[in-house]
């Protein structure tokens, strides 16, 4: 294990003391040759598993042909990805960027431009990203406090007080169908329905942040499909290109287009290599894989106590600090994340096999027994 002391990196992360050099499916190999079973998948990013052949081949082929032309011109992978995402959404136009937080920035600007209003409503405990706009709608005091003042005009609500926060000045309501980073807390169908009704009543845009829940993670392509509450726009990123940087804002064909040329831009957005990989990801996420996600999810829920979430966005509530448990899991060659202070977060590859899930459950139980 490489302790990484002396590496010239700004100290924004408390990294685990391990350096990975190879990956295959749900396994990561460290520089000392040890193999780790990966229930993190790069934080819900490597959704088809490390080095999955479909995006690997698509990205390699594109790397050999063309890397970048900018958005002054069009490229086939970007057009193909926009069409595939529009089909999955049921009619939408895409803006491509490079990360989740950028997709939120695009959504904030789009909602303000298309409504002519400025107020934004988000939930306490939410997570929408770390750039200053996205951070302004992230309902977590500790993440915001050192960087105040942020974008004005943001109102935070709970599911119970949503109706008090939304009004005629609201440009957009931002919701994660399942709060991921904040602790894996699913919103109820009633909350999503109420948000839809409030947005319609006050002419606000309903934006679902599906950066973490999207692209098959919860067992449906979009998490909103599970409740049938359709947003005006959705943001995607993490799992979209299986690890290549990409983000997307999808605006429903039934919502205002908002933007005109010059309103928003991204030099790298729509990168052909990332878009080619993303097309291959979308082609791989079929009904069979989504059914597999559900069956692996049920296995975890049946075998591990205090599991919540949906599909393969799961938390194990511990009732005590989760950090030391994640470190103990590392010692058992098992990678798990944390969500909030007291929960483990499990976001394995959607392709995790039944045998791998059983091995993971066995190791997880050992770790949990040592930390009760």
Ligand X SMILES: *Cc1c(COP(=O)(O)O)cnc(C)c1O
Q: How many Å apart are CA 344 and CA 363, to the nearest integer?
A: 14
CB of 274 or CB of 368, closer to ligand X: 274
CB of 95 or CB of 202, closer to ligand X: 95
CB of 177 or CB of 202, closer to ligand X: 177
Q: Bridge-partner residues for 313, per DSSP?
A: 310
CB of 347 or CB of 356, closer to ligand X: 347
CB of 167 or CB of 245, closer to ligand X: 245
Q: Kindly state the smallest distance separating residue 331's Cβ from ligand X, in Å.
A: 27
Q: Kindly state the smallest distance separating residue 182's Cβ from ligand X, in Å.
A: 9
Q: Kindly state the smallest distance separating residue 310's Cβ from ligand X, in Å.
A: 14
CB of 23 or CB of 239, closer to ligand X: 239
Structural element, H or E, at residue 143: helix 141-144
Cα maximum dimension of the chain = 59
Residues belonging to the chain = 372
Q: Kindly state the smallest distance separating residue 332's Cβ from ligand X, in Å.
A: 26
Structural element, H or E, at residue 363: helix 354-369
What count of other Cβ atoms lies within 10 Å of the Cβ of residue 141?
A: 10
Structural element, H or E, at residue 65: helix 53-65
Site residues for ligand X per CB under 6 A? 99-101, 104, 127-129, 176, 180-181, 209, 211-212, 237-238
Q: Kindly state the smallest distance separating residue 73's Cβ from ligand X, in Å.
A: 26
Q: Across the beta sheet with 205-209, what order do the strands follow?
A: 92-97, 247-252, 233-236, 205-209, 170-175, 119-123, 154-157
Residue number of the CB closest to ligand X reads 100
Q: Across the beta sheet with 337-339, what order do the strands follow?
A: 307-310, 313-317, 343-346, 337-339
Cβ atoms of 173 and 205 within 8 Å: the answer is yes
Q: Kindly state the smallest distance separating residue 220's Cβ from ligand X, in Å.
A: 16
């Amino acid at each position: 294990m490489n302790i990484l002391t002396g590496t010239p990196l700004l100290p924004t992360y408390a990294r685990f003391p391990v350096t990975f050099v190879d990956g295959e499916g749900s396994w990561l190999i460290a520089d000392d040759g040890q193999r780790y079973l990966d229930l993190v998948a790069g934080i819900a990013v490597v959704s088809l598993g490390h080095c999955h052949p479909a995006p690997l081949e698509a990205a390699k082929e594109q790397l050999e042909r063309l890397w970048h032309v900018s958005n002054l011109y069009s490229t086939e992978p970007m057009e193909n990805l926009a069409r595939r995402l529009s089909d999955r959404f049921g009619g939408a136009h895409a803006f491509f960027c490079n990360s989740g937080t950028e997709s939120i920035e695009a959504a904030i600007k789009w909602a303000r431009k298309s409504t002519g209003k400025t107020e934004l409503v988000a939930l306490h405990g939410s997570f929408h990203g770390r750039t200053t706009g996205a951070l302004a709608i992230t309902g977590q005091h500790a993440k915001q406090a050192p960087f105040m003042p942020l974008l004005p005009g943001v109102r935070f609500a709970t599911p119970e007080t949503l109706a008090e926060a939304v009004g005629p000045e609201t440009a957009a309501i931002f919701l994660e169908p399942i709060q991921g980073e904040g602790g894996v807390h699913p919103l109820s169908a009633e909350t999503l329905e109420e948000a839809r009704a409030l947005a319609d009543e006050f002419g606000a845009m309903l934006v679902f942040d599906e950066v973490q829940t999207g692209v098959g993670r919860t067992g449906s392509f979009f998490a909103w499909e599970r409740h049938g509450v359709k947003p005006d726009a959705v943001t995607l990123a993490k799992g979209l290109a299986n690890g290549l940087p990409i983000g997307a804002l999808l605006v429903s064909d039934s919502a205002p287009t908002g933007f005109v040329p010059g309103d928003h831009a991204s030099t790298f957005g729509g990168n052909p290599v990332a878009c080619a990989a993303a097309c291959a990801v979308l082609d791989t996420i079929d009904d069979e894989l989504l059914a597999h996600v559900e069956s692996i999810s049920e296995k975890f829920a049946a075998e591990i106590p205090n599991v919540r979430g949906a599909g393969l966005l799961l938390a194990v509530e511990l009732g005590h600090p989760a950090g030391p448990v994640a470190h103990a899991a590392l010692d058992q060659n098992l990678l798990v994340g944390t969500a909030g202070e007291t929960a483990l977060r499990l976001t394995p590859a959607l392709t995790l096999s039944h045998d791998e899930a059983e091995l993971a459950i066995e190791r997880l139980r050992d770790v949990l027994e040592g930390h009760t």
